[in-house]
A and B are shown apart, each in its own frame.
Chain A
Amino acid sequence: MAVFKGFPLNLLFASILLILLLCIQSGGGQKKKENMLAEKVEQMMEWSSRRSVIRMNGDKFRRFVKAPPRNYSVIVMFTALQPQRQCSVCRQANEEYQVLANSWRYSSAFSNKLFFTVVDYDEGADVFQQLNMNSAPTFMHFPAKGKPKRADTFDLQRIGFASEQLAKWIADRTDVQIRVFRPPNYSGTIALALLVSLVGGLLYLRRNNLEFIYNKTGWAMAALCVVFAMTSGQMWNHIRGPPYAHKNPQNGQVSYIHGSSQAQFVAESHIILLLNAAITMGMVLLNEAATSKGDVGKRRIICLVGLGLVVFFFSFLLSIFRSKYHGYPYR
């Protein structure tokens, strides 16, 4: 009976206790949340003070990027940088990303509102699965509030991964303007200085015997090198950056000649360079055979070799051209 009577009281007490507890807990929770946020921000700041791009594994990613109490935006690059993955695009993208992160890290506007992180596939494969991601590299922005939307994934296919483009995208998503500062590339200047000093040194050492400057063959060779490089389309390679050759993923066949007349491979341009050089050499030999004052038999051999070079390599060149330029009627 006492039990029966005591029950409501007990209930009342328990409920009061519960409410009290809840109040305390929620108050404490608020405080704890703030603490946690401060802790997280502090942690992130510490990491980013050490390295401008924070490396993350699965746990860290879930704790610092996915978990809700956040007041900072995070840019994440999902990538596969391990050499065995053979992702050359990832490496290039990583370089651009580092440039961007460094220019943010060392800019005067640096704050704890934006962090740059990277998740490597080999360190956080679970993250990739969780986000349903099957290609790398991918850049994603995790906003301070809410979930990432469609536009929070950087459109790599279309815009490319130049850090200027990334900066533009970040400015678009987070209102943080980053001025990309590329570390100046001194290698060209150094190479030029080295070359100049080398030439100068050589000239100085051989100052008593400067005959070789007047060597016409050397100059002619240099001029022909420039000409061959240009006529075989090295400038196109330099500007467009085509692959060296194409490997067919199905049967593993390597093709050195691009099928279309609008494009070329690096290997192809080298082949053309050699062919052009061979034809030119043939012409020079033909001339040489007629003008030199040597043994007659030798001269005849030179003449025939020259002729053979011209005719054979020109027909070879023509057949390559034919294979590229569809509908060309002549052999």
Chain B
Amino acid sequence: ASVSGFLSLLSFTILFLAWLAGFSSRLFAVIRFESIIHEFDPWFNYRSTHHLSTNGFYEFLNWFDERAWYPLGRIVGGTVYPGLMVTAGLIHYILNLLHVTVHIRDVCVFLAPVFSGLTAVSTFLLTRELWNQGAGLLAACFIAIVPGYISRSVAGSFDNEGIAIFALQFTYYLWVKSVKTGSVFWTIGCCLSYFYMVSAWGGYVFIINLIPLHVFVLLLMQRFSRRLYIAYSTFYIVGLVLSMQIPFVGFQPIRTSEHMAAAGVFALLQAYAFLQYLKDRLTRQEFQTLFFLGVSLAAGVVFLTLTKPSLPPLLRYAKIHIPIIASVSEHQPTTWVSFFFDLHILVCTFPAGLWFCIKNINDERVFVALYAISAVYFAGVMVRLMLTLTPVVCMLSAIAFSSVFEHYLGDDMKRENPIKQHPFYPVKNSSVYSKLIVTMLMLMLLMMFAVHCTWVTSNAYSSPSVVLASYNHDGSRNILDDFREAYYWLRQNTDEHARVMSWWDYGYQIAGMANRTTLVDNNTWNNSHIALVGKAMSSNESAAYEIMKSLDVDYVLIIFGGVIGYSGDDINKFLWMVRIAEGEHPKDIRESDYFTPQGEFRVDKAGSPTLLNCLMYKMSYYRFGEMQLDFRTPPGFDRTRNAEIGNKDIRLKHLEEAFTSEHWLVRIYRVKKQENRQALDHKLRNIAAKQKYTSKKVLPSRFH
């Protein structure tokens, strides 16, 4: 009893430390900068959470946001996965109920690191079900610090994935548990966890395809059991009903092809169970087996045809180059460098864990094998889905490492066990040495992994991208806070209902930080609206003015990195604007007009005249020609593109500069209102002095 108590205390301590390590390694951004929401999408989530916490849940579900997609607006309640906002709002509510008064922003910032600890715990539970306690503890430690997961869950990255991975792992744990026990209790728990996952992230489709696949493969392996029957039948029905309660999901689970595999497997399972029942009654064994074979083959074919449409969308998604999808860098296939960068030693060792699992197969190890293979496929197709691969890699690597340690670290086992069982007993001395060497080297590998994880987290994944930092030669740091400066300017100095036009990347930030109406934002649901903004940006000023007038634009906001050499600015994104605009308005915008005859995109004198006179160019470089950055370069030298700009004498007719931030990173222009009346460009009417009266009947056409 004391041993088991000691063990549970030890594992509790280890889990707690893993949680703590995971939490604190995600705090780099908070320590270096401040408690701030990062990037783009989190700003929308933050804004909705804020709305939820101030106006209540029902108001949130019915929220029609008239500040986005002007003049269309957006029904927020029906177009988001509310899990994240509800979680953060609930925590805020409970804390305030306990008189722990924290701002909702701090809840949002620290939500993902806290949930990473929960992920570690659920990974521990799942791995313990699959292998043993030791592997579980290792897996928990791995997932707490692995960069592939940290990339989506640093403090401030308030995004769906932060809580969804916890829900994913926990659902899988409960599923494995319910297959093992066959109890409805665990299955209902699994359904509730699945419901939470559906409410949190669109990636729930992965679960609703993987679990049926598991059941199907178990059927093929003739591992059908009552436990499986109970678990899957309950899960499918209750999970289906629960998932349809989310407004954004609605009737998709019974309509779209992604969910059909689950329905097919459900039908198959019922048929199989019925046949089993018949088989118990009937005696013609031979006929029965034949019948079973035929049915399972037919069902397999049906299953494949049903799942087939569910897999290719991802591939098609990656392959078709719709500009708006291709322009997002997350939708790219994955190189081996990204795998290694995000997983380090785990990527080379997890196949060994997979090997051990398949060699010692049982019901739940079938599950983890299928999980690994499908997740690795999806991660190969799209960088972004590395996130779903990471947990299974941690579990399988933990299995590989723990089985090695089990065999080479078991020194105290010698005292308890008889001599025969010990593998290296006969040559005791040398075997101890070899065991020592193996253990040392393995520990060293793990230490390298930990160091790598910390380095990657600190260098690659902890930049808020709202606040930039630059380092001087002596190592001191400059904070470039231009984004917030400009957004606060908008907030303080413009009319409350002013409409701000910008490229869609900055829509959420403008709405969140400046609280002004935007035309397009990161929820890219309306391509033609985005194309219209792209067209305005890439037309000349007077054509753009017409578009802006029709869209009631008051201010235009652009990002310009030429002064500090920031490469993610609007001129570098400009070709995507042109492409998207060309897709909708091929008669007015042509991509080739923006290139030199040699096919280059240049902003200097050799650049194409269309580019040098379009609105985006004019706004970016307005009065930039007067500015000399240092003595080695001529005035108007763009540091991002390393070129002297080609059009230094920029005059704006319909716009005026309203604000430029300290490092010129954000520039805001006011769209001038129309003059009182438009000047008539024709001559005054000449009235003929003496004209004979003529009857209308004779020359009616004169008066038309």
Q: Is B379 an interface residue (CB 8 A)?
A: yes
Q: Is B339 an interface residue (CB 8 A)?
A: yes
Given the known inter-chain contacts A231-B347, A233-B339, please indicate yes or no for A239 contacting B333, CB distance below 8 A: yes
Q: Are A276 and B348 in contact (CB under 8 A)?
A: yes
Cα distance, A277 to B355, chains bound together (Å): 12
Q: Which listed residue, A220, A236, A286, A296, touches B358 by the CB 8 Å rule?
A: A220
Interface residues of B in 333-372 (CB under 8 A from A): 333-337, 339-341, 345, 347-352, 354-356, 358-359, 361, 369, 372
Q: Are B345 and A228 in contact (CB under 8 A)?
A: no
Q: Is A163 an interface residue (CB 8 A)?
A: no
Chain A residues with CB under 8 Å of B356's CB are 284, 287
Q: Are B352 and A283 in contact (CB under 8 A)?
A: yes
* Closest CB in chain A relative to B518 CB, distance in Å: 32
Chain A residues with CB under 8 Å of B400's CB are 283, 287
Interface residues of A in 218-256 (CB under 8 A from B): 219-220, 223-224, 226-236, 238-240
* Closest CB in chain A relative to B308 CB, distance in Å: 12
Q: Are B351 and A276 in contact (CB under 8 A)?
A: yes
Q: Are A158 and B358 in contact (CB under 8 A)?
A: no
Interface membership of chain A positions 251-282, coded 1 if the CB is closer than 8 angstroms to chain B and 0 otherwise: 00000000001111000110010011101100
Q: Are A307 and B339 in contact (CB under 8 A)?
A: no
Q: Is A176 an interface residue (CB 8 A)?
A: no
Give the size range of A's interface with the partner: 35 or more
Q: Which listed residue, B354, B377, B438, touches A286 by the CB 8 Å rule?
A: B438
* Closest CB in chain B relative to A160 CB, distance in Å: 11
Please name the residue on chain A nearest to B379 by beta carbon. Answer: A230
Q: Are A228 and B351 in contact (CB under 8 A)?
A: yes
Given the known inter-chain contacts A286-B438, A307-B441, A314-B348, please indicate yes or no for A235 contacting B358, CB distance below 8 A: no
Interface residues of B in 371-387 (CB under 8 A from A): 372-373, 376-377, 379-381
Cα distance, A68 to B587, chains bound together (Å): 31
Given the known inter-chain contacts A155-B592, A227-B376, A307-B437, please indicate yes or no for A235 contacting B333, CB distance below 8 A: yes
Chain B residues with CB under 8 Å of A321's CB are 337, 340-341
The CB with the most chain B CB atoms within 10 A, among A262, A268, A276, A283, is that of: A283
Q: Are B441 and A233 in contact (CB under 8 A)?
A: no
* Closest CB in chain A relative to B417 CB, distance in Å: 14
Q: Which listed residue, B341, B380, B438, touches A234 by the CB 8 Å rule?
A: B380
Q: Are B434 and A304 in contact (CB under 8 A)?
A: yes
Q: Is A167 an interface residue (CB 8 A)?
A: no
Q: Is A217 an interface residue (CB 8 A)?
A: yes
Q: Are A314 and B345 in contact (CB under 8 A)?
A: yes
* Closest CB in chain A relative to B448 CB, distance in Å: 7
Interface membership of chain B positions 403-431, coded 1 if the CB is closer than 8 angstroms to chain A and 0 otherwise: 11001100000000000000110110011
Chain A residues with CB under 8 Å of B352's CB are 280, 283-284, 287
Q: Are B354 and A303 in contact (CB under 8 A)?
A: no
Q: Are A262 and B335 in contact (CB under 8 A)?
A: yes
Interface of B is mostly: helix
Stretch at the interface among A1-9, A22-30, A90-98, A323-331: A323-331
Q: Is A18 an interface residue (CB 8 A)?
A: no
Given the known inter-chain contacts A279-B348, A303-B438, please indicate yes or no for A236 contacting B354, CB distance below 8 A: no
Interface of A is mostly: helix
Given the known inter-chain contacts A279-B348, A280-B351, A284-B355, please indicate yes or no for A300 contacting B430, CB distance below 8 A: yes
Q: Is B5 an interface residue (CB 8 A)?
A: no
Q: Is A317 an interface residue (CB 8 A)?
A: yes
Q: Are B335 and A264 in contact (CB under 8 A)?
A: yes
Q: Are B334 and A286 in contact (CB under 8 A)?
A: no
Q: Which listed residue, A227, A235, A311, A324, touches B337 by the CB 8 Å rule?
A: A324
Q: Is B455 an interface residue (CB 8 A)?
A: yes
Q: Is B319 an interface residue (CB 8 A)?
A: yes
Q: Is B250 an interface residue (CB 8 A)?
A: no
Chain B residues with CB under 8 Å of A238's CB are 333
Q: Is A85 an interface residue (CB 8 A)?
A: no
Q: Which listed residue, B334, B335, B369, B437, touches A263 by the CB 8 Å rule?
A: B335
Q: Give 7 A-B contacts (CB < 8 Å), ordered by A residue.
A: A158-B595, A227-B373, A230-B376, A239-B319, A262-B335, A286-B438, A307-B437
* Interface of A toward B, CB cutoff 8 Å: 150, 155, 157-158, 216-217, 219-220, 223-224, 226-236, 238-240, 261-264, 268-269, 272, 275-277, 279-280, 283-284, 286-287, 290-291, 296, 299-300, 303-304, 307, 310-311, 313-314, 317, 321, 324-325, 328-330
User: 17 new A-B pairs (CB below 8 Å) besides A157-B599, A220-B355, A280-B355?
Assistant: A150-B597, A216-B359, A224-B354, A224-B355, A227-B350, A230-B377, A230-B379, A234-B380, A235-B334, A264-B336, A279-B348, A283-B349, A286-B404, A296-B427, A321-B341, A325-B337, A330-B448
A-B complex: 5 closest residue pairs judged by Cβ atoms:
A290-B407, A235-B380, A283-B352, A230-B380, A220-B358
